[in-house]
Structure 1
Amino acid sequence: WTPLEGDAQAHEPGHLAEWIYLADRFRATTGIASGLPLAEMWQRVQESRLPSGFLPDRDGVTTRRLWPQTEFLKAACVMNRSDTAPGPRPSEIAAQLWESYIPPALKGGWYDQFDESSGACLSDNMPASTFYHIDSAVEACCRL
């Protein structure tokens, strides 16, 4: 569990956000705290946001897929249980995610990836694996 040295270590904010949620679910299920610095992790996730407010696929790129946004939403659900938590509210993230990635015109579908600079949709399919992320984000919101 030690980061690799140099450029070999990719930082993917979506995975960091996912670990916030997983650590919280572990605590809720077992009663055992993970010991992870969730507030520091949350701060790092927020520092990774693109100008639009979305998370990039990984540091240093301007592409943004749907699944990191769902993980950002789940982490926000964990971190925003109190009114004092910094950062966007889950409702704000959900609204932005829904408007950009899951518009009503798609009738049950979603856009998978965008380019931050141009706003262009880069995907021509809807990966089935993304549905797991969408479903678990809705479930996390329902727990609030």
Structure 2
Amino acid sequence: MKRKAVSDILALVIIIAIMLSIASMFTYWSKEYAKDVTDEVSHTGDTASACMREFIDISELYINTSSGTIEFIIENKGTSGAELASAVAYNISGGYCAISVSGKTIFPGGIALVNSSVCSIYPSCDTFDALEVTTSCSTHAVKRSIDLTECS
């Protein structure tokens, strides 16, 4: 009888250990998966909880050659406001253009059209290779290309 009780207790301990191992592996895998399919978010201090609720989506870039501006749309798909800090567009030849977005806040579910003068290195049809938008608590770097068929 005592052997049966000891055996049952050992079996229970082994089952619990296996369940905890599986649960910890699932938690690790889900974090890694989330990291792979979402933008990198850097957390600092008290803003970490706000950053976790922030998710922005950036549209394709568009060069309006008639007005000489670069345009794109930022949509806030998160549950907290996203305050834009900066935006930089890079081209394939290594140049870059800082775009003035500082102070714009996009509320949850909202969108913002960013319409900014093109830097002097971009009046022609240079191809933009990437756009990096920085919010108050995270950096969203999204590789975007633009259609240059309308450039002359």
Say whether the fold is shared (TM-score over 0.5): no
Higher helix content, 1 or 2: 1
Task: Give TM-score scaled by structure 1 length.
Answer: 0.25
Task: Give TM-score scaled by structure 2 length.
Answer: 0.24
Higher strand content, 1 or 2: 2
